[in-house]
Structure 1
Amino acid sequence: MIEHAAEPLASPAHAARTARTAGTPPPASARWGRILACLVELPAALIVVAETLILGGGAFARYALHAPLPWTEELAGILFLWLAMLGAIIALQRSAHMQLTTFISRLTPQRRAWVDACGMWMVVAFLLLLVQPAWQHLVEHVEVLTPTLEVSEAWRAAAVLTGTVLMLVTALIRLFERASRTQAALSGVLVGLGAGALWLLSTGLMELGNANLVIFFLLMLVGCVAIGVPIAFAFGLSTLCYLALSTATPLSIIPNRMQEGMSHLVLLAVPLFIFLGGLIEMTGLARAMIQFLAALLGHLRGGLQYVLLGAMYIVSGISGSKAADMAAVAPALFPEMKQRGAKDGELIGLLSASGAMSETIPPSIVLITVGSVTGVSITSLFIGGLMPALVGLAMMALVVWWQTRKEDMRDVPRPSGRALLKLLVVALPALALPVIIRTAVVEGVATATEVSTIGIFYALLAGVLMYRQFDLRRIYPILVDTAVLSGAILLIVGCATTMAWALTQSGFAQDLVSIMSAVPGGKTGFLLVSALAFVILGSLLEGIPAIVLFGPLLFPIARMVGVHEVHYAMVVIFAMGLGLFAPPFGVGFYAACAIGRVSPDVAMPRVWPHMAALFVALVLLTLVPWFSIGFL
């Protein structure tokens, strides 16, 4: 499975606390790790606040005062790149970068320690090799001025260099903190010998042509991912080695492409929606919404299952994290559902499938990413994403109806109309939030990036004035967590953008066009093959890496064979979501198991009816374009 959750037992802060508890001074690596965390976390949190104020102020000035501020987007873009790099540093400190652990999780602890040490040396190798190109990239941009603020572009380029250096320091701290001296030394020698062998073979590699794609983007990339190297660093290392050892391309192109990939202003919605998700949970909006839905449908057969589906449909996509969506809904419903006789495995199957179903619901981070890397209109994606999820919801509702058709509901009280009305009044501010966000984008009040600030200010006001739930002590951790998840996502976007560029320059894109254009069945065959491919890619790479890497390559082919770009986006996103939540590799399935506190071995045999329902929905979406583009 792919992990992107922090492992707190390995953090520098935990090591320091453990050492203090034991009465011994913390190790030097833990002390330096804690100092570095203090230096990075506060600026990252402040940037999240600054981005919210800048974009929110810009939207207010343009729409309410009719006096646009031309410098807001430029300043927000510069700060955004710093946020991405600082977040990536904290994510590395917290082991929060996405990584495949399916294979290494089966190793004994001793063997896994050796493999982890080798993997961290590969991270170190990538960052060490990136320092000089990042410096050169900075030097090249010193004399270039931004068009509006007229400040040096070096402020933007410095974020990449600073992030690279601090991630290198962080990786070394983590390496010597987790591995013994023997493991660190021997694994370093092993990785060094491999690097030396590739360097000695570089002359021969130059003559192999596109055979190098197999060496670097198949063997090396798959090998790195299999041993647990975080996906972003695996992408970056494979691309860097390919360009350095088999082409004459200057390596300064790597930080340039990374910066370009992470600088799309529409991606700024990622951290802001993640921050909004944290506020929704803290201020009680999610709880009020779920309580109303439970009262409305809870007395029906399978009522709470329908509530879970409805709640995921409403809140999904706002937090930026499927795990956060599921964690906001499941704990409020699972205890009562189990009391009514629901089986653990069926609950996990429903939770997993609802997470997959809701990938197309705006303001999904995946939708925003697709729009960023492919040029498809975000507004069109937001409009088109509601119906595909509704098709998936309908298919899963049929499964719920079948599984609960004999449920005994005689002892379940039905709430009075007065009680239901009271809960509705309490829930109205929460139910209004998704409507406000989606309406603001569709009506042009704010861009997909700015609309997140509307949601943030609305959630703050609702929490303070209506729900009276606002804990200032939780704001800073939410801001830091926002930076962590954003950094993990955006570093993947940057490295995958670089890899996609390298594949395009190699001629692979043209070969892919030829292959996919020759698929039997015309555009229907192309859609079916794409759906199957993204089910597999979603299972192995998770959604955003798969979309960023293959979206720029496949969307032009879709246009060429006559597939509407929004229809194609919905098919591949839904397929990716199915793979993301399907066992045995899908990370979403294991996240659902962790949230529901159910063993994967118990849940896996019972998840398949829900996955089958989603597969039927995927076929319908593929064959009936109206579900995706009927309301455009």
Structure 2
Amino acid sequence: MAVVLICGFLLLLILNVPISFALMIASLAAILYGDIPPMLVGQRMTAAIDSFILLAVPFFLLAGHLMARSGIARDIMNLANAVLGWLRGGLAHASIGAGTLMGGMTGSAVAEASSIGGAVIPEMVRKGYSPAFAAAVVASGSLISILIPPSVPLIIFGVVTGVSVSRLFVAGLIPGLLVAVVLLVVVWLMAIRNNYPRGDTPSRKTILKALRASLWGLFLPVVIIGSIRYGIATPTEASVLAVLYALFVGLVVYRSIRLRDLPSIISDAAITTGIVMMLIAGATLYGLIITREQLPQQAAAFMLTITSDPQMLLLLIVAIYLIGGMVLDLGAAIIIFVPILWPITQQVGIDPMQFGIVTVLGLGIGLITPPVGASLFVACGIARCQILLGSRAVLPFIGGLLALLLAIVFFPGIATWLPSRM
């Protein structure tokens, strides 16, 4: 049954079938081959998305769409440009800065690549940056959003493992900010090497004006993280607060969203939510069959024959993630790999917060590597450059992210210190 499952899934991927449907079809084929009642398909898929914590996903996505439509993205980009634009390669630095601030609103790397890329890539190309470099900057900067709350991948990881999503959100803060620092360093080195232009040195008045204009947007992450951190709300309840806050900003403060715009905004968020939920449902069914075939136990026995050292085991897991992330969507990869690897990490004493951050960042690098590379494809589409050129331009950023990933492996306090203070 496992052979039918895995081979069927790989064949469907080669045939370019969407991942969620490939997971479902391969799982159904394995169920029929194994003489398991097909009724199990509907039951398991429904049970997979019947979760209180997963209610946070559509609300956080809706809040992100509302904030993007309200003009907050533009104001945050202006603030980042005012603070960082004077550096060599200023627009690229501003893109990373804006991505850091927007990461606390969208929770989705692809959504961030689309919103930030649409605002900054055409301007970067006009100022003399190569389209491939512009796409690489935006695509790599979008990975900040998978770590900084409200991260949808961290919610999925929490659902799969039963780990507290609140603690995962707090654990993602320091690694998310370090991702931004690493990317800024890479941008600075490449800007010097390619002699990219500096922006104008801003006055204090310009910075204060940009800060005032973006205060409403900057306050949203405070609402989300603060309400969770101090026990005012659960992550699901915080997602509803985020929607109410975004509605208030768009309808009352900015007045850039009208009541007649709400159906289209809700529709966009619903489509994105549907994609995420289909992935979760399909991958959960796939994971069920893997569990029935006792593949986690076999994998654990095999990996523990190689090493029982936690750090070496994490390095082996990172290698698996880097390969798997190249061909699987981030959400689907979490649901497929984590149930197999989670028991192993607990057996050798790896901290759940460390494993969660390593999982999301390790698999997230696949968002900027072909052939799946969703964020890279979006950014290259906006920049109108070939994916091959974008793939070459993003290599230095991947190198920096890998260095940070190794640092989290060998220095777990990067991920565990902040949640331990809760």
Q: Does TM, normalized by the shorter one, top 0.5?
A: yes
Structure 1 residues 269, 437: closer, same or farther in 2, change over 3 A?
same
Tell me what 1:193 maps to. Answer: none
Task: Give 3-state SS (helix, strand or coil) of 1:404's partner.
Answer: helix
Tell me what 1:218 maps to. Answer: 6
Match of 2:321 among 534, 546, 560: 534
Contact 1:361 1:382 in 2 (8 A): yes
Tell me what 1:141 maps to. Answer: none
Contact 2:108 2:145 in 1 (8 A): no
Equivalence map 1:15-414=2 (5 Å): 212-214=1-3, 216-247=4-35, 249-316=36-103, 318-405=105-192, 407=195, 412-414=199-201
The whole-number CA distance in structure 1 between the counterparts of 2:73 and 2:101 is 10
Structure 1 residues 351, 537: closer, same or farther in 2, change over 3 A?
same
Shift of the alpha carbon at 1:493?
Answer: 0.9
Structure 1 residues 409, 487: closer, same or farther in 2, change over 3 A?
closer
Structure 2 letter corresponding to 1:371? G
Task: Give 3-state SS (helix, strand or coil) of 2:356's partner.
Answer: helix
Tell me what 1:15 maps to. Answer: none
Structure showing greater radius of gyration is 1
Kindly report structure 1 stretches of 4+ aligned residues shifted beyond 6 Å: none
The whole-number CA distance in structure 1 between the counterparts of 2:123 and 2:281 is 44
Whether 1:443 and 2:230 are equivalent positions in the alignment is yes
Tell me what 1:166 maps to. Answer: none
Shift of the alpha carbon at 1:431?
Answer: 1.0
Structure 2 letter corresponding to 1:539? M
Shift of the alpha carbon at 1:618?
Answer: 1.3
The whole-number CA distance in structure 1 between the counterparts of 2:117 and 2:25 is 38
Structure 1 residues 398, 482: closer, same or farther in 2, change over 3 A?
same
Structure 2 letter corresponding to 1:289? I
Equivalence map 1:548-587=2 (5 Å): 548-587=335-374
Structure 1 residues 335, 233: closer, same or farther in 2, change over 3 A?
closer
The whole-number CA distance in structure 2 between the counterparts of 1:320 and 1:413 is 31
The whole-number CA distance in structure 2 between the counterparts of 1:356 and 1:289 is 17
Match of 1:506 among 268, 278, 293: 293
Contact 1:317 1:325 in 2 (8 A): no
Kindly provide the CA deviation profile for residues 231-255 of structure 1, in whole angstroms up to 9, marking residues without a partner as x. 22222222222222224x3322222
The whole-number CA distance in structure 2 between the counterparts of 1:491 and 1:340 is 41
The whole-number CA distance in structure 2 between the counterparts of 1:511 and 1:538 is 22
Kindly provide the CA deviation profile for residues 288-308 of structure 1, in whole angstroms up to 9, marking residues without a partner as x. 111122122212222222221
Task: Give 3-state SS (helix, strand or coil) of 1:361's partner.
Answer: coil
Kindly provide the CA deviation profile for residues 443-478 of structure 1, in whole angstroms up to 9, marking residues without a partner as x. 111111111111111111122332221133321112
Percent identity between matched residues is 30
Whether 1:471 and 2:296 are equivalent positions in the alignment is no
Kindly provide the CA deviation profile for residues 388-440 of structure 1, in whole angstroms up to 9, marking residues without a partner as x. 12222222222112122374767x43333223222211111111111211111
Shift of the alpha carbon at 1:339?
Answer: 4.1
Shift of the alpha carbon at 1:334?
Answer: 2.6
Task: Give 3-state SS (helix, strand or coil) of 2:146's partner.
Answer: helix
The whole-number CA distance in structure 1 between the counterparts of 2:252 and 2:351 is 45
The whole-number CA distance in structure 1 between the counterparts of 2:196 and 2:6 is 54
The whole-number CA distance in structure 2 between the counterparts of 1:501 and 1:511 is 15
Structure 2 stretches of 5 or more lacking a match?
none
So what's the TM-score if we normalise by structure 1? 0.64
The whole-number CA distance in structure 1 between the counterparts of 2:377 and 2:17 is 19
Structure 1 residues 414, 369: closer, same or farther in 2, change over 3 A?
same
Shift of the alpha carbon at 1:602?
Answer: 3.0
Tell me what 1:42 maps to. Answer: none
The whole-number CA distance in structure 2 between the counterparts of 1:426 and 1:391 is 26
Kindly provide the CA deviation profile for residues 334-371 of structure 1, in whole angstroms up to 9, marking residues without a partner as x. 34433443222222221221123432111111011111
Structure 2 letter corresponding to 1:266? I
Shift of the alpha carbon at 1:372?
Answer: 0.8
Contact 1:355 1:581 in 2 (8 A): no
Kindly provide the CA deviation profile for residues 254-309 of structure 1, in whole angstroms up to 9, marking residues without a partner as x. 22211111111111111111111110011112211111221222122222222211
The whole-number CA distance in structure 1 between the counterparts of 2:26 and 2:126 is 51
The whole-number CA distance in structure 2 between the counterparts of 1:409 and 1:490 is 43
CA RMSD in angstroms, aligned pairs only: 1.9
Structure 1 residues 458, 217: closer, same or farther in 2, change over 3 A?
same
Task: Give 3-state SS (helix, strand or coil) of 1:552's partner.
Answer: helix
Tell me what 2:402 maps to. Answer: 615
Structure 1 residues 356, 293: closer, same or farther in 2, change over 3 A?
closer
So what's the TM-score if we normalise by structure 2? 0.94
Structure 2 letter corresponding to 1:358? S
The whole-number CA distance in structure 1 between the counterparts of 2:290 and 2:7 is 15
Shift of the alpha carbon at 1:310?
Answer: 1.6
Contact 1:315 1:434 in 2 (8 A): no
Contact 1:317 1:365 in 2 (8 A): no
Structure 1 stretches of 5 or more lacking a match?
1-211
Contact 1:259 1:494 in 2 (8 A): yes
Task: Give 3-state SS (helix, strand or coil) of 1:300's partner.
Answer: coil
Contact 1:539 1:587 in 2 (8 A): no
Task: Give 3-state SS (helix, strand or coil) of 1:405's partner.
Answer: helix
Kindly provide the CA deviation profile for residues 110-148 of structure 1, in whole angstroms up to 9, marking residues without a partner as x. xxxxxxxxxxxxxxxxxxxxxxxxxxxxxxxxxxxxxxx
Whether 1:588 and 2:370 are equivalent positions in the alignment is no
Q: How many residues align?
A: 418
Shift of the alpha carbon at 1:523?
Answer: 1.1
